[in-house]
Structure 1
Amino acid sequence: MNAEKRRLIFERLHAENPHPTTELMWSTPFELLVAVALSAQSTDVGVNKATAQLFPVANTPGAIVELGLDGVKAHIKTLGLYNNKAKNLIAMSEQLLSKHDGNVPGERAALEALPGVGRKTANVILNTAFGEPTIAVDTHIFRVSNRTKLAPGKNVNEVEAKLNKVVAKPFRQNAHHWLILHGRYTCLARKPRCGSCVIEDLCEYKDKVDLD
């Protein structure tokens, strides 16, 4: 795919949704960190239901630690892998208190050093909470990038590196949100909704589904 096509793709995604953002509910960087950590193998809708129960009770590192492992589990037990997620939330909160005065750090290395936080989660926090033009690659973005030929790669790291190389600077801040929403609602895994896709004529997917 050439640079002109890529530019047009993001121009259209921008026109369709000028101010994209995460569908996770959050009001502080810590709440966002918790929500993203809980989102592994869970839907945003499911995470929002869980955090709607958790955050009124505990939405700071100190409150999470005070709530304790069983207390955290009770509030997130509707989510997959909730046992490990609860352990990570406790350990993450303890580390934030001991090393960062209870604040979420704005540096990648410090974020990735937190229990349960990998590169994708760190990218989301840096982008959404701190305004950095990072691009987190999840399953939706991996699929869209490869299917459209926007930024093909064999794994998420390759796709992230390619996106960082080919996405024009004006679009980099919001690229993550545009692509994830496009993959979630239009470029579906089993049957892409090509008939209602704003970038269908730019997409280089060979097996387009003409009927929506």
Structure 2
Amino acid sequence: MRKLMMTAVAVMGMSLGYPAADAKEPQKEMQAQPQQGPTDAEIDEAYRMNQEYDARRAAEKAQAQGPTDAEIDEAHRMNKEFDARKAAEKARAQAQGPTDAEIDEAHRMNKEFDARKARAGLKTHEVEGKVQSVSGSALTIRMPSKLNRKMDFKTDEQSKVEKDSQAAALTELKEGDEVRVSYQIVGKERIVVSVDAQKEGSGTSEPAKKP
């Protein structure tokens, strides 16, 4: 009986294409083959996701804690550097003294003060006429009431000019404008104290005083 069973197994093995001696090998291989785990790609992806999660948690924790000690130290260093630079600039400016522009401005103010002081006791004259020409700080008028006699004037920093009751520059006066000029004689020049100008034909509000 046993021989018959062995013969049957051998025949079955031959019918399946296996040698008689190897009839039981496929079954043994199937039983011995282990189950497959995750692939290398799956392991790498899981590792990457863990790293990303850890980095996100670390960033959230750092943000919640505020600036780090290193950041605070850097801010203090920058503040000290800024203060030192400002102090150095101030010391350098003090050592150099006033600039050329500051010296020029001081000279201009001194000249203006001296001129005002010199003119303080001078008599002021007034005359009316019409503008003949304006050039730089020079003004020339003619007086129809005195046979178109011409008079030349100069302006300085203290001279005031108005046109139609509005502050104006001397260059805004046009030929033919009617003017009332107040002036002082300084040396050999007539220095304008004020000019009140109106458009030709509008007339002046008050009669002129004799120069």
Verify same fold: TM over 0.5: no
